[in-house]
A and B are shown apart, each in its own frame.
Chain A
């Protein structure tokens, strides 16, 4: 099983390495004659790159998984949350990249890393708060099942925004590369298509968690709040882990 997992891991890395190399070559070769065909190709690769890249940390998969494992929801909601995260992710990456590039200009790399660290800390605090809120609400409403549904709707946005606020370094790198080569529109379009790919991966994590919840639901039916409390604690743990990891960097 571990060998199989390592093979998948290797293939994911090799694929990202190849896509990274391929996309940078095409962006660099972009000119007036091939602009339309190459632009579509770049956007297609950006989508694929996002799909694979979102298998990485900081993209909210663990958070989404914990959330949907412990809260009853539909597949539609998983898609909605996946896409809120990835869109927030891409918007924050665009704002950070354009902001740092045009406002700060110098010491880009240093600011790039510092800004990402600050955003990760803010995100970690938000995640911890969401976790605390979920535990509190699950405990408080353990006998009022209907009320839980309304609260879950509210907390979905909080979960999605807390995960998405961290700008994706992968998107930032592509955006910056396009800006350096003066392909400004392409920078924005690549960020959007990459986020569509990422959204799909994050949504799949949510759907798998909902499937797990449904299986567990038949055993726990009337005691679903236990799962919610466990999920809340897992989310708090994830937030603490993120916060301490950033703090050590």
Chain B
């Protein structure tokens, strides 16, 4: 029986397999238990960044210019809606449609490609959960307490138990 369990475990670990790591830096302002401003900054791992920068920074000036931004947004970022931007927002136990990202900006910081965007939505923090993860598990979203900037609430980070992929949950108190 032990052997069978070992094999099942070993074979089912097929999901422990991300190739890209994205650090998530949320900045959230809360007033009267409701979110007023939500901004996310994603910092992609250096290896993935080097590959993408090579493609995005067409004039090789070490930054993502305005016309390059548009290319990144249209061809790479907006399509992530299919993956709910790797962020499930649950309100009253129901996952809501991810709000349209606003003020998208991509930049390079310490050799890492970063995406910054806002979402415009007022959510009651007592009813809301933010779950970060990729159901395909090609991407690993990394959230640490020190990445979070909160105004008007306190953050609680926990592991997201999805059986098949791993993620993080952010709750606001």
Residue numbers of A with Cβ under 8 A of B are: 1-3, 5-6, 8-10, 12-13, 16-17, 20-21, 24-25, 28, 52-53, 55-58, 61-62, 65, 69, 106-109, 112, 169-170, 173-174, 176-177, 180-181, 204-205, 208-209, 211-212, 215
Size bracket, chain B contacts: 20 to 34
Q: Is the CB of A61 within 8 A of B51?
A: no
Residues of B within 8 A of A9 (CB): 13, 15-16, 166
Q: Is the CB of A109 within 8 A of B51?
A: yes
Known: A24-B45, A112-B51, A208-B6. 12 other contacts (CB 8 A): A3-B161, A9-B15, A17-B142, A20-B21, A20-B45, A20-B46, A21-B45, A21-B46, A53-B17, A55-B17, A177-B47, A204-B10
Candidate in B17, B18, B19 with the most chain A CB atoms within 10 angstroms: B17
B28 at the interface (CB under 8 A from A): no
A208 and B3 in contact, given A13-B140, A177-B47 (Cβ under 8 angstroms)? yes
Q: Is the CB of A215 within 8 A of B51?
A: no
A45 to B159, CA, bound (A): 26
A1 to B21, CA, bound (A): 27
A6 and B14 in contact, given A108-B51, A112-B51 (Cβ under 8 angstroms)? no
A53 to B163, CA, bound (A): 18
A174 to B54, CA, bound (A): 15
- Chain A, Cβ-Cβ closest to B21: A17
Q: Is the CB of A180 within 8 A of B54?
A: yes
Q: Is the CB of A180 within 8 A of B50?
A: yes
Find residues 30-70 in chain B having any chain A CB closer than 8 Å to their own CB: 45-48, 50-52, 54-55
A5 to B159, CA, bound (A): 13
B111 at the interface (CB under 8 A from A): yes
How many contacting A-B pairs (Cβ < 8 A)? 115
Contact residues of A: prevailing secondary structure: helix
Q: Is the CB of B3 within 8 A of A24?
A: no
Residues of A within 8 A of B9 (CB): 5, 8
- Chain B, Cβ-Cβ closest to A52: B16
A219 to B31, CA, bound (A): 67
A24 and B51 in contact, given A5-B9, A212-B4 (Cβ under 8 angstroms)? no
A55 and B3 in contact, given A10-B159, A20-B45, A20-B47 (Cβ under 8 angstroms)? no
Residues of A within 8 A of B51 (CB): 108-109, 112, 173, 176-177, 180
Residues of B within 8 A of A205 (CB): 7, 10-11
Residues of A within 8 A of B140 (CB): 13, 16-17
Residues of A within 8 A of B17 (CB): 53, 55-58
A208 to B50, CA, bound (A): 38
Residue contacts A-B, CB under 8 angstroms, 27 given: A2-B161, A2-B163, A5-B9, A5-B163, A6-B161, A8-B13, A9-B13, A9-B16, A10-B166, A13-B16, A13-B140, A16-B16, A17-B21, A17-B45, A20-B47, A21-B46, A55-B10, A55-B13, A55-B14, A55-B17, A56-B15, A65-B11, A109-B52, A176-B47, A205-B10, A208-B3, A212-B3
A99 to B45, CA, bound (A): 24
Q: Is the CB of A6 within 8 A of B159?
A: yes
A208 and B46 in contact, given A8-B13, A57-B14 (Cβ under 8 angstroms)? no
Q: Which of A6, A8, A13 touches B18 (beta carbons < 8 Å)?
A: A13
A65 to B159, CA, bound (A): 30
Q: Is the CB of B161 within 8 A of A208?
A: no
Q: Is the CB of A211 within 8 A of B16?
A: no
Residues of A within 8 A of B16 (CB): 8-9, 12-13, 16, 52, 55-56
- Chain A, Cβ-Cβ closest to B4: A212
Residues of A within 8 A of B55 (CB): 106-109
A107 to B161, CA, bound (A): 36
